[in-house]
Amino acid sequence: MSMIRLFSVALLVVTLASAVRADDKVITSEKAQAHQCVCRACYVNFTKEFGVPLEFLGSLGHSIHDARLAPDPAGLAICSRSLAVAEQVSGKKASVTSDEVMSDAIRLAKLRGVSTELEAVKLMVSDDAVKKELTEAIEDAKVREEEAKQDAEAIAKGEQTKQLFGRLTVYNQCGECVRVYAGGRYLGVVHEGQAACFHVHNHDYHTELEAYCVEEGHLVSADCSEGHRHSYTWYIR
């Protein structure tokens, strides 16, 4: 093999190696920036991270995990308050913080649009601006709940309903097993390469769809369906 050919091969190998390293950096960056679900709290040893002998810390991680998977916004808000107490007593922050849990509780409460949940979360929020947002959300939720009541009566009479969502078909074409949520409500798990159908009721104009990785807890994909629909197909890639 000539020296020129050897040099060309060596240059190609170096170029490919550099490209792989560049790709690795991009992938790492994307994972680092991905939204992390607070259900990962079940892996956190809060007693060790805070360094204080508070008994409730022993089960707090699992309480956060269970409330997020349910999902239970009010339960998450309660867990956030417990975390805040531990933060004040210890003067430290754990790898999952009270602000992070409360933020997720507020977001889920708004997505689900249940007036009683919104009111419960509002009672545990100290920020006046957020309280105002929740007050408005409560009023909107009560309107939707009245519409839902009317729909139930219409169904009983055999009339057409006003529901914004009916059949949701999910095709999981990504490389991860995912938990699927619609409007902040847990629907189920869709494994890699599989499809699943769910029946969804949502009286909000916007139906937020989210898919979280079962294993690592990060947000894999998100979508939004708007308007009156009785069927929707979502491809998760």
What are the helix (H) ranges across 113-190?
115-123, 128-156
DSSP 8-state class, residue 37: P
Sheet holding 178-182, edge to edge: 185-190, 178-182, 206-213, 219-226
**pTM for the whole structure:** 0.68
Look-up of token digits 């909107």: 140
- Token pair for 167: 């059949």
Q: What confidence tens digit (pLDDT) does each residue in 216-226 have?
A: 788 899 888 87
pLDDT at 117 over 60: yes
Distance, CA of 110 to CA of 229 (rounded, Å) = 21
C-alpha of 71 from chain center: 9
Helix (H) or strand (E) holding 25: helix 3-33
| Burial classification of residue 226, based on how many CB atoms lie within 10 Å of its CB (0-12 exposed, 13-18 middle, 19 or more buried) | exposed
What is the residue-averaged pLDDT of the chain? 80
Q: Is there a contact between 207 and 181 (Cβ–Cβ < 8 Å)?
A: no
Mind listing the pLDDT tens digit for each residue in 136-185? Answer: 999 988 987 887 777 667 667 665 555 556 788 899 998 889 999 988 88
Structure tokens at 92: 């430290």
Fold of 167-236: Immunoglobulin-like (2.60.40)
**Taking 90 as the threshold, does the pLDDT of residue 5 lie above it?**
no
